[in-house]
Amino acid sequence: MTTMTEASVREFKMPDVGEGLTEAEILKWYVQPGDTVTDGQVVCEVETAKAAVELPIPYDGVVRALHFPEGTTVDVGMAIIAVDVSGGAAEAPAPAPEAAPAAAPAASVAEEPKSAGSGRQPVLVGYGVAASSTKRRPRKGVEIPAQEPAQQPAAAAVQAELNGHGPAPADAPAGTSAPAGQGRPLAKPPVRKLAKDLGVDLTTVSPTGPDGIITREDVHAAASPAQTPAPAPVAAPQPAVPAVSTVSAPVPAPAASYDAVRETRVPVKGVRKATAAAMVGSAFTAPHVTEFVTVDVTRTLKLVEELKQDKDMQGLRVNPLLLIAKALLVAIRRNPEINASWDEAAQEIVQKHYVNLGIAAATPRGLIVPNIKDAHAKTLPQLAESLGELVATAREGKTSPAAMQGGTVTITNVGVFGVDTGTPILNPGESAILAIGAIKLQPWVHKGKVKPRQVTTLALSFDHRLVDGELGSKVLADVAAVLEQPKRLITWA
């Protein structure tokens, strides 16, 4: 058996995979303790405030321990995986015998029972700490199975020190407060400051973080008044613990009756958290103006069908969105002042001589807005190819943070949900966003007669600090004119 020394173990820390991001949630592990990894191999998938990203390991070796289970939010800079780089052969991890020394790290791998209807894959437990000391955060609509308390091995204290939290109480299972006389509650300095500001006593807070650490969510839950206390279940007497808000307890999965569970609380994090902050900042920073136009797009739809048969467009995704995107690019070329941003610090309008066209995409993780770089310079087939790649990547949840940076103007297609149009909020740092409504067959006056025509409503929101009503109206009118008479794609190009 090969002996692994502490000197041969490398700790891979959570990197900043975006621009200044401070934390990420571990979505899935691709390796287990005992697996051999090579430089550049993807070991896990994490979700930041902007996207899901796969993390490669930067060296060769054998996985010694995974420090956090799936579903845990980890700060940038914290060690997430330990790898032995000594080059020795690794043995498959096995449960330690009863007579094993206490210092031996618990590296056993087990499957966590699936919750009813959760659909999640089995996750790893025993990441160098006792299974009872790690409690996953509750996820939407999923009931977390209870873990039986287990004896805390000495490796748990080592792991806690690696994570910068100090030793954890040996006998306290996760999710309970530390009893009096057993040390200071585990919490990071920012969390302690938050608790102080909210007037929350940390000794009364039920921790849900790894190793019994109190998180920001725990403090907020303790600070909030209880909503509707659930009736106490009939169970065996339990040891007394300090009273905490019932809001902090995991919400069980809904039963057969809709009223069985009155409320479900979903933690706001990842893409949803970033989107909320961005939209609030945009709505209360940039003075929004929205204008509308209803247009006959019958000819545009006919052109879409013709392009589907064109040999230059074979194998490409051809739909109305493609021609609407091209129409917007033509309108920007005719009115370049709209493609700009507002520099608050310098009190300047920054005009962009390129168009990074954003496409709002609804994904299971929330709304994201990747953009097509230099869309203004692309031919129609190139634009179709870029749109297809953007949509496919977003559906797979593989959009990178870089793909969502640097946008100048955005399109959001709310018509796919059957609504006529909306008043979209600007993507932060951009000057305009075009909303596309549902295309419907409606009575329309065409060549002096009322005929059934394909009609849609467009809405253009813009930043009134740098775009006045005249400029915004010209851009919207040009987009409508191109969609009504697609030959203007040639005459105005």
Catalytic amino acids? 464
Helices (H) and strands (E) in the chain, counts: 9, 19
Half-sphere exposure of 213 (CA within 13 A, CB side): 29
Strand partners, 113: none
Under DSSP, is residue 190 helix (H, G, I), strand (E, B) or coil?
Answer: helix
Q: Using CA atoms, how far apart are residues 9 and 12, in angstroms rounded to an integer?
A: 10
What is the three-class DSSP state of 485?
coil
Please report, for residues 47, 143, 170, 263, 265, the alpha-carbon distance to residue 258 in angstroms, rounded to integers and kept in the order given: 31, 16, 40, 10, 15
- Residues 129 and 213: their CA atoms lie apart, in Å, by 13
At 373, list the tokens.
Answer: 């770089």
Pairwise CA distance, residues 317 & 310, whole Å: 12
Order across the sheet with 9-13: list the strands. Answer: 9-13, 79-84, 61-66, 36-37
Query: Could you tell me if 133 and 211 are in contact, meaning their C-beta atoms sit under 8 angstroms apart?
Result: yes
Residues 299/301/302/304 CA torsion (nearest 10 deg): 130
Task: Give the contacts of 232 (CB within 8 A, at least 6 positions apart).
Answer: none
Q: How far is CA 134 from CA 172, 245, 457, 473, in A?
A: 11, 21, 52, 57
**For residues 458 and 413, what is the distance between their CA atoms, to the nearest angstrom?**
10
**Cβ contacts of residue 415 below 8 Å, gap of 6+?**
421, 436, 437, 438, 439, 456
Amino acid at 369: V
Contact 104, 78 (CB under 8 A): no
Pairwise CA distance, residues 402 & 396, whole Å = 16
Instruction: Compute the Cα dihedral for 98, 100, 106, 108 and give only its sign.
Output: negative
